[in-house]
A = this chain, B = another copy of it.
Amino acid sequence: MKTISAVNLNEKKLSQLKEKLSIEWSALKSRSCFIKGILQEPVDPRLYMLYMLQTYHYTAHNARNQALTGVIAKDVSPGYLKYCFDHAAEESGHEMMAVADLVSMGMTHQQVFSSPAILETDALIAYLYWISSTGNPMRRLGYSLWAESSYGFIGDVLTKVKGDLKLTARQMTFFDAHSDIDAEHAAEVDRALTLYCKTEADWQAVEHTMIGTLQMTERMLDGVWHTFNALRNGSALTFTFLDRVENLKDLGGVAPTH
């Protein structure tokens, strides 16, 4: 009886969190210059590539920072530990899908691997390691909570990209695979939150991290937009190799003019 109440209470907490998340996403989408840029203009392949390069960079750390939570966490249940490592295993190598998608658009592997991350991406990566290794050990779930369910919120963005750039599903494996995988992952995250969050402090830590990591992602997106504008204006000092990507001309969208 008592356990059932506890589960009910946690389910209520979880749906409250998801409501807040929905509000955050709406605010983000109406605010973000990156999102507006994608939705309101014909998509320039360089903009999407810049974004996918950042996706490659931070995704390459996600399995590691997820596992780090388990390595560092003290006084957590073996079940939560197992969840951390299982989830880390599932995330391993996902950045290679971003690589494949970029290569399908004309970049070389070498160009992808040697590309720099923009500051905001590095800041997000650093922050993910930080929340994974300090403070309340439930914190990382706050990132998973929105990251594994983001396709519901950015579906219109991806559809616009796909249409404008005339990309096939095989050229968008990162998002295609994730929209399936992540439905499952999202259910696992829900279950983990309901099972392992025990205290009000746990839930607050999860909410704090959910909001924080989403905001840092928003900054990354807007950083991509600013970097793209510098590229478009010819004032960029980095990522100028994107102007010379071989198959770029074959892609739809706005062809770069310089």
Q: Is the CB of B78 within 8 A of A89?
A: no
Q: Is the CB of A63 within 8 A of B79?
A: no
Contacts of A65 in B (CB 8 A): 71
Q: Nearest chain-B residue to A72 (Cβ)?
A: B64
Q: Is the CB of B130 within 8 A of A125?
A: yes
Q: How far is the CA of A67 from the CA of B67 in the complex (A)?
A: 6
Listed stretches A8-16, A18-26, A80-88, A153-161; interface member: A80-88
Q: Nearest chain-B residue to A60 (Cβ)?
A: B78
Find A93's partner among B71, B82, B119 (CB 8 Å cutoff).
B82
A127 at interface, CB cutoff 8 A: yes
Q: So how many copies of this chain end up in the complex?
A: 4
Q: Is the CB of A119 within 8 A of B67?
A: no
A187 at interface, CB cutoff 8 A: no
Q: Nearest chain-B residue to A65 (Cβ)?
A: B71
B-contact 0/1 string along A113-141, CB 8 Å cutoff: 00000010011011101110000000000
Main secondary structure of the interface of A (DSSP, over half): helix
Q: Is the CB of A89 within 8 A of B86?
A: yes
Find A67's partner among B70, B93, B211 (CB 8 Å cutoff).
B70
Find A129's partner among B70, B130, B215 (CB 8 Å cutoff).
B130
A252 at interface, CB cutoff 8 A: no
Q: Is the CB of B89 within 8 A of A85?
A: yes
Q: Is the CB of A71 within 8 A of B67?
A: yes
Q: Is the CB of B82 within 8 A of A92?
A: yes
Q: How near does chain B come to A255, taking the closest CB pair, in angstroms? A: 31
Q: How far is the CA of A67 from the CA of B131 in the complex (A)?
A: 17
Q: Nearest chain-B residue to A116 (Cβ)?
A: B208
Given contacts A78-B93, A81-B63, A93-B79, contact A122 B127 (CB under 8 A): yes
The 9 closest A-B pairs by CB, nearest first: A78-B93, A126-B130, A85-B89, A82-B92, A85-B88, A86-B89, A81-B92, A126-B126, A67-B67
For the A-B complex with A79-B93, A123-B216, A130-B130 known, give 7 more contacts whose Cβ atoms are closer than 8 Å. A63-B85, A64-B70, A68-B71, A81-B92, A85-B86, A122-B212, A125-B130
A sample of 21 cross-chain residue pairs with beta-carbon separation below 8 angstroms, ordered by A number, consists of A63-B70, A63-B81, A63-B82, A63-B85, A67-B70, A68-B71, A70-B88, A78-B92, A82-B89, A82-B93, A85-B85, A85-B86, A85-B92, A119-B211, A119-B212, A119-B215, A119-B216, A122-B127, A123-B123, A126-B126, A126-B129
